[in-house]
């Protein structure tokens, strides 16, 4: 018939930024919970390029972090990985991430997903005031970090939602420290990531002889 179809509702797209050095189950649970909570069509994981706030330590090469993120998300049809931050020169700023994704998906509603610690830092981010024009912000609970009303003071009320997710006291820092000490990371990160870390000897203490597990 000649009837016009009802206008489709805009795609709802989650954006999960991170260093992912390595990606772990805390990241994956946060993305999955927010996907379900907001009925998102997809969640795009965006590994950072040069993480300017982590210049105090050596970050693994972007290509390793990208591939671990691909391995960890490959089985979920609603997850994908974007190279926008890796392929952009210079330090990564979330404002650029959101602008690039908006250019790629002009009709989409973007939901930027952060843990409580990252949300607390938001006003140290470049162009913080502009961020809320580009995306809705979703703050996920994270063990060890309080999310109180005072830190949301400056965020427009209709642009942020706090979501309580199952508590996983997992961090990439702890995973790296374990790998360096030769302790297990099984079940903290996906199996494929355990194998990738071992295969490429990531996080090994260079002063230790290799081959000793
Ligand atoms: P690092 O210890 O190197 O800082 P990380 O575990 O904090 O690593 P990031 O890549 O820095 O991981 O975090 C990416 C995003 O995921 C941030 O918004 C962070 O708050 C969130 N996040 C990380 N781990 C958890 C977790 N266990 N629960 C909820 N959110 C998390
Ligand atoms: Mg972190």
Ligand 1 pocket, residue 65 CB under 6 Å:
no
Residue nearest to atom 19 of ligand 1 (CA): 115
What 3-state class would DSSP assign to 152?
helix
Q: Which of 118, 131, 203 to mutate to test the pocket of ligand 1 (most atoms within 8 A of CB)?
A: 118
Q: Which residue has the higher pLDDT, 55 or 27?
A: 27
Residue nearest to atom 20 of ligand 1 (CA): 115
Which domains does the chain carry? Answer: 12-169 (3.40.50.620)
Q: What integer is the mean pLDDT of 94-111?
A: 97
Question: Which residue, among 54, 50, 73, has the nearest Cα to 62 in the 3D structure?
Answer: 50
Q: What is the pLDDT of residue 213?
A: 46
Q: Which residues contact 196 (CB under 8 A, 6 or more apart)?
A: 22, 64, 67, 68, 71, 202
Q: What is the pLDDT of residue 138?
A: 96
Alpha-helical segments (H) within 16-171: 25-37, 62-73, 84-87, 94-104, 116-120, 128-134
What distance in angstroms lies between residue 147's CA and the mean position of ligand 2's atoms? Answer: 15
Q: Confidence band (pLDDT; 50, 70, 90) for 139?
A: very high
What distance in angstroms lies between residue 3's CA and the mean position of ligand 2's atoms? Answer: 51
Q: Confidence band (pLDDT; 50, 70, 90) for 151?
A: low
> What value of ipTM does the predicted structure carry?
0.99
8 Å CB contact between 30 and 140:
yes
Q: Which residue has the higher pLDDT, 74 or 207?
A: 74
Cα–Cα distance, 158 to 160 (Å, whole number): 6
pLDDT over 80 at 67, yes or no? yes
Task: Write out pLDDT tens, residues 73-86.
Answer: 999 999 999 999 99
């Amino acid at each position: 018939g000649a009837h016009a179809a009802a206008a489709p509702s805009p795609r709802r797209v989650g954006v999960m930024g991170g260093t992912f050095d390595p990606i772990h189950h805390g990241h994956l649970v946060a993305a999955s919970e927010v996907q379900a909570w907001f009925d998102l069509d997809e969640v795009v994981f965006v590994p950072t390029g040069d993480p300017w706030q982590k210049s105090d330590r050596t970050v693994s090469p972007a290509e390793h972090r990208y591939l671990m993120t691909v391995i960890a998300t490959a089985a979920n049809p609603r997850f994908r990985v974007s190279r926008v931050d890796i392929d952009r020169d210079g330090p990564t700023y979330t404002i650029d991430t959101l602008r690039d994704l908006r250019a790629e998906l002009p009709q989409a509603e973007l939901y930027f997903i952060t843990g409580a610690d990252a949300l607390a830092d938001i006003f140290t981010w470049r162009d913080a005031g502009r961020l809320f024009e580009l995306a809705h912000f979703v703050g996920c609970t994270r063990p060890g970090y309080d999310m109180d009303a005072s830190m949301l003071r400056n965020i427009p009320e209709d642009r942020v939602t706090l979501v309580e997710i199952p508590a996983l006291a997992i961090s990439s820092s702890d995973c790296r420290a374990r790998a360096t000490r030769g302790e297990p990371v099984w079940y903290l990160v996906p199996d494929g990531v355990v194998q990738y870390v071992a295969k490429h000897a990531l996080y090994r203490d260079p002063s230790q002889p290799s081959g000793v597990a």
